[in-house]
Amino acid sequence: MANIKDREFARHSRIMSVGVYRPKRVVPNSEIIAAIDSSDEWIKERSGIHSRRIAGDDESVISMSVAAAKSALERAGITAEQLGAVICATVTYPFQTPSAATDIALQLGAPKVPAFDISAACAGFCYGVGLASDMVRGASAEYVLLIGVEKLSDFTDPTDRGTAFIFADGAGAVIIGPSAEPGIGPTIWGSDATAREAIMMEPSWVDLRDPESLGWPDIKMQGQTVFRWAVYQMAPVALEALAAAGIAPEDLDAFIPHQANERIIDAMAKAMNLPERVAIARDIRTSGNTSAASIPLAMDALYQEGRIRSGDVALLIGFGAGLVYAAQVVQLP
Amino acid sequence: MALTHNEVLAGIREIVEEVAGVSPDQIEMDKSFTDDLDVDSLSMVEVVVAAEERFGVKIPDDEVTNMATVGDAVNFIVRAAS
């Protein structure tokens, strides 16, 4: 019997850089409230959101991704030709096929690279970190470009009181590459598919053919169900990711959860009993909920605010439609 | 062990004070969580989860929507615990 030769893969992985793209237009609550018969105060109380970025016609899933990716590549000090894979986490690329990742790779000048999208909604970025890390450690790729991007404004009903003030647009990208020391801890991930109807796009694309259909597909959300799941099921997952990485809460520098709602972030931090010194990302206040893009955007914001620096240890957790979740501890680039 | 309405009301008062900062003397059976006590839908989830732990009952999401008043919650928990 012949022996199969495998690649050598005695190595670790790390996040080498982060780059973001924030849409140009800032939309304050005052522009949202008329359509949902609400107020600035009501939105702030329920979500912590003061304003969000909404992409214009000239800012697409692809253009935002390419801008974020270029910044991440530059900061990592590598070129697009060196990439071993492009992974795009999104639920708002408006084409069933081909993938957003292939167009991003093309625009970056790397049209030969393995490229694919993942559909894990607000957990997409952390799903991607886990996948990319394993690809690097398994030597299927030297450098992986991972993008979390959403143009949720294309799939949000501006009159839906449960979502109109929450969802927003943006892109974040990271380069994940090899490392002599562990830079990404074990990913704790899974799903709670029995609650998959808690966040749904409705109707389906096929239903759109029916003239009596409900109209354009929008993302609907059962707020209370999602809040309960996020706070009380996700806090233990986050703590499990910490334990799996061998990091004590006292040694954690930053907590960068998916920016779903500031109330969820507060309740999670309380349930986890995080020490005061941990920097908690609150980019939601000026970015809204950008699903797969929210964690890299929030990471970038923490750097801008001077609350984290390279080498710090951060806990990431993404959770969303599916319901799906993933968490890991990373060393910040 | 069966719980009395008064025991549950006392517990709800403590929980609502802790979650939403409402003074316990305002929390009566006929008060509406949203209209009278300013407990919004997300705080209501926190109240419900705390009540589940405290009274050892299960309160499903669709029941939460039916709990308009403090009395609705107290009655549900007394029934569920019996």
pLDDT in tens, A135-163: 999 999 999 999 999 999 999 999 999 99
Look at B66 and A285; give whichever has higher pLDDT: A285
Q: Does residue A5 lie in a domain region?
A: no
Number of domains in chain A: 2
H/E stretch holding A328: strand A324-331
Domains of chain B: 5-81 (1.10.1200.10)
User: Which residue among B40, B46, B61 sits closest to A267, beta carbon to beta carbon?
Assistant: B46
**Which residues, other chains included, contact A128 with Cβ-Cβ below 8 Å and sequence gap of 6+?**
A87, A89, A118, A120, A146, A148
- The mean predicted confidence, pLDDT, of chain A is 95
* Residue of B43, B46, B52 to mutate, testing the A interface (most A Cβ within 10 Å of its Cβ): B46
pTM: 0.93
In this prediction, residue A320 carries a pLDDT of 95
Dihedral sign for Cα atoms in the order A63, A67, A73, A76: negative
In this prediction, residue A132 carries a pLDDT of 98
Peptide bond into B60 cis (omega under 30): no
Share of chain A above pLDDT 90, in %: 90
Q: Is the pLDDT of residue B63 over 80?
A: yes
* Residue of B18, B44, B45 to mutate, testing the A interface (most A Cβ within 10 Å of its Cβ): B45
Cα–Cα distance, A298 to A291 (Å, whole number): 11
Q: Are residues A317 and A207 in the same domain?
A: yes
When pLDDT is averaged across residues A174-190 and rounded to a whole number, the result is 96
Distance from CA of B43 to the nearest CA of A (A): 9
Write down the ipTM of this complex.
0.84
Strand ranges for A180-301 from DSSP E: 188-191, 199-202, 218-221, 254-257, 279-280
Q: CB of A49 within 8 Å of any CB in chain B?
A: no
On chain A, the residues whose CB falls within 8 A of the CB of B45 are 224, 227-228, 231
Q: Does residue A131 lie in a domain region?
A: yes
On chain A, the residues whose CB falls within 8 A of the CB of B46 are 231, 267
Q: Are residues A22 and A160 in the same domain?
A: yes
A50 is known as an active-site residue: no
User: Which residue among B40, B49, B61 sits closest to A232, beta carbon to beta carbon?
Assistant: B49
Distance from CA of B60 to the nearest CA of A (A): 9
Where in the sequence is the domain holding A197, given as residue range(s)? 188-331
Q: Are residues A85 and A227 in the same domain?
A: no
Which of A179, A204, A230 terminates a domain? The answer is: A179
Q: CB of B62 within 8 Å of any CB in chain A?
A: no
Q: Does residue A45 lie in a domain region?
A: yes
Q: Are residues A110 and A194 in the same domain?
A: no
| CATH number of the domain within which A119 lies | 3.40.47.10
In this prediction, residue B1 carries a pLDDT of 62
Q: Does residue A3 lie in a domain region?
A: no
Q: Does residue A4 lie in a domain region?
A: no
Q: CB of A233 within 8 Å of any CB in chain B?
A: no
User: Which residue among B42, B64, B65 sits closest to A263, beta carbon to beta carbon?
Assistant: B42
Provide the pLDDT confidence category of residue A213 given band limits of 50, 70 and 90: confident
Distance from CA of B65 to the nearest CA of A (A): 9
Using one digit for the tens of pLDDT, what is the confidence trace for B6-53? Answer: 999 999 999 999 998 999 999 999 999 999 998 988 899 999 999 999
Q: Are residues A175 and A194 in the same domain?
A: no
Q: CB of B40 within 8 Å of any CB in chain A?
A: yes
Contact A119, A201 (CB under 8 A): no
On chain B, the residues whose CB falls within 8 A of the CB of A263 are 42
| Cα-based distances in Å from A142 to A9, A11, A96, A196 | 11, 11, 28, 35
Provide the pLDDT confidence category of residue A286 given band limits of 50, 70 and 90: very high
Q: Does residue A287 lie in a domain region?
A: yes
When pLDDT is averaged across residues A194-208 and rounded to a whole number, the result is 91
Q: CB of A232 within 8 Å of any CB in chain B?
A: yes
In this prediction, residue A8 carries a pLDDT of 67
Q: Does residue A101 lie in a domain region?
A: yes
Q: CB of A44 within 8 Å of any CB in chain B?
A: no
B72 is known as an active-site residue: no
Using one digit for the tens of pLDDT, what is the confidence trace for A226-278? Answer: 999 999 999 999 999 999 999 999 999 999 999 999 999 999 998 899 999 99
Q: How many CB pairs lie under 8 A apart between chains A and B?
A: 28
Q: Which two tokens stand for residue A218?
A: 């929008």
